[in-house]
Each structure stands twice: as structure tokens, then as C-alpha cells.
Amino acid sequence: MKNWALPMAIITGIISYLLYVSMPVFDITRPWINNVVAILQPTLIFAMLFITFCNIGVRDLRPHRWQFWLVIFQMSCFFLMTIVLYGIPETTWKVVLECAMLCLICPTATAGAVVTAKMGGNAAAITTYTIIINSIVAFVAPAMIPVLYPQEGMSFLPAFQTILQKVFPVLICPLLLAWLVRYYIPALHQVLVRYRDCAFYLWTVSLAIAVAVSCKVLAHSNVSFLLLTGIGIVSLVCCLIQFAVGKKIGAHYSMRLEGGQSLGQKNTVFAIWLGYTFLNPITALAGGFYSIWHNLVNSYELYKYRNSGKIE
């Protein structure tokens, strides 16, 4: 269970979705299931982040030099892709490049700290980068994406506010609450620290739901098999490149694991939403594929780490 929690969550999410859509007994739940998922998913993320952040002090959140280079890499890729896409006429394969841009600009997953901590890494370091890159994306995306997809009434400020409302309540609120518990309810804080592994298993439940949502996105897409294959391949390539580049940069500062997770593990729910809201809705498929790829990478790395004998 410990070794294969993530792939089991992925399989559970896929099977759950297939059973749900194929069994008439669930018809009565279809009008409100989306609302349930919309509440349950952020609640699980909030809970797992809260438990993880109880192990992180205020002084632990300080920028590192390797994080600067990760930001440079992400922003350079994003600006380059924006320039290329701006000069390309509307074609079917332009969507594939847009998917690559979405995979590259997407900020670090809020659960990155949970997975990193489970593999013995520095959760505070990846939390710091998560806050930094989400802040930068909140400014950069509203400034650049309307250039590619101009929408009436969607200028910088409305887009900026929309992204802030989507990302920061789930990221910042559990951090502040964890610090309040640390300093004002120390007895409860000690209990939460003792059961910090619960955050990882909350993440597996959240992952199963995220995969089910990704399956829904893929199942309701009306794109050709060839284009779907192209999106799947480009999202896989982006995933592997970002893990490799993150590890390469992090290794120079003795933060190989943290660098790889910071750049490779993405907030795919945000990517799906960003594609639907600002880009061609088909690009949301990239987030669905990327969700599977980066969790398969995490599953393999977690398996290797456990077999190294460094943790139980």
C-alpha cells in the first residue's frame, strides 16, 4: 500500500469514473455530483496542506538560489512559446503547442510539499517555491494570455483577480492556520505533527478524485484520436523535461529532489481550469494527461526511495 499508493489512486480514479458513468443507479446523483466534487476536492487539499504546514515554521520559508533559476526557466519557456504562438496562424496543431505552453507555465502543485516530505525532502523549500511561482503566474498569465486569446471584458485586472481567487485561498489559508495552531494551540500542534503522514494519504484520495475529473475531461472531448495522441505525447515530454531540468538545477545546490518536484509536479486542476477559462478549451486535456504522467513519475520515485531503506 505504501509503495503503490499513488498508482492505486490513479487506477481507482479511472475505474470509479467508468463505473459511475456506466451504472444507472447513480443517475439520481448526477445533477449535484459536480458541486460535491467542487467542495470535497479543495477541502481535502486544505486539510493535507494544513497538516503538512504544521511542520513548517515561519523562518523555514526563505528563498533559495536554485528557485531563482527555476523561475527563469519557466518564464523563459512561457515567453518563448507565447512569441511563437503569436506568429502561428490558426491550425489544428497550434493547439498542441498551446498545450505545451500550458504545461510549462503551470505553477507547482500545492501537494508538492506533501509528496516531497514523504520522500524525506525539504517541504519548506518546495512550499517557498510554490508560493513564489504561483505569485508570478498570477501576474504573468493575465498579462500574456489575452495577447493570444483576447476576450471582451477580460483585461489584466479581472484575469488577475480570477487567478488569485482560484489559487491563493487553498495555498495561503492553511499555511496561516497552521502557524496560528503552532503558536496558540501547541497541544493540538504536537498531535498533528505526530500524524503528519496522514497528509500523504489524504493526497491519495484527492488524487483519485483529480484523475476521475481528468477522465471526464478526456471522455467529453470531441477531438480526433491523432490530436489526442499529440496532446498526450507533448504533455509527457514536458513532464519529463521539467523533472529532469529541476533535478539538474537542484543538484547544484544539494536540492535535487526538491528541484525536480518544484518544476515537475504541477497543479493540474489549475491547468485544466486555465485552459477552459483563457485558452482553447481543448488545451484542458493537457492538464488531464499531465496529472497522470507526473503522478506516475512520483510513484516510481517513491518506490525507489522506499526500497533504498532510508524510510520505513
Distance of alpha carbon 139 from the chain centroid = 18
The pTM of the full predicted model, rounded to 2 decimals, is: 0.82
Q: At what angle do helices 156-184 and 123-148 cross, to 10 degrees?
A: 170
Give Cβ neighbours of residue 121 (< 8 Å, ≥ 6 apart). Answer: 257, 258, 261
Query: Could you tell me the sign of the dihedral formed by the alpha carbons of 258, 199, 239, 262, in that order?
Result: negative
Torsion of CA 224, 229, 235, 240, to 10 degrees: 180
Distance of alpha carbon 235 from the chain centroid = 13
Give Cβ neighbours of residue 247 (< 8 Å, ≥ 6 apart). Answer: 256, 257, 259, 260
Give me the tens of pLDDT residue by residue for the chain, a chain 312 residues long. Answer: 666 777 888 889 889 999 998 888 888 888 888 888 888 888 888 888 888 888 777 777 888 899 999 999 999 998 888 888 877 767 667 888 888 988 998 888 877 888 888 888 888 899 899 888 888 887 887 777 766 666 655 566 777 777 777 777 777 788 888 889 988 898 888 888 887 778 778 878 888 888 888 788 777 777 788 888 999 999 999 999 999 999 999 999 999 999 999 999 998 877 877 777 777 778 888 888 888 899 889 888 888 887 774 543
Question: Cell digits for 143?
Answer: 498579462
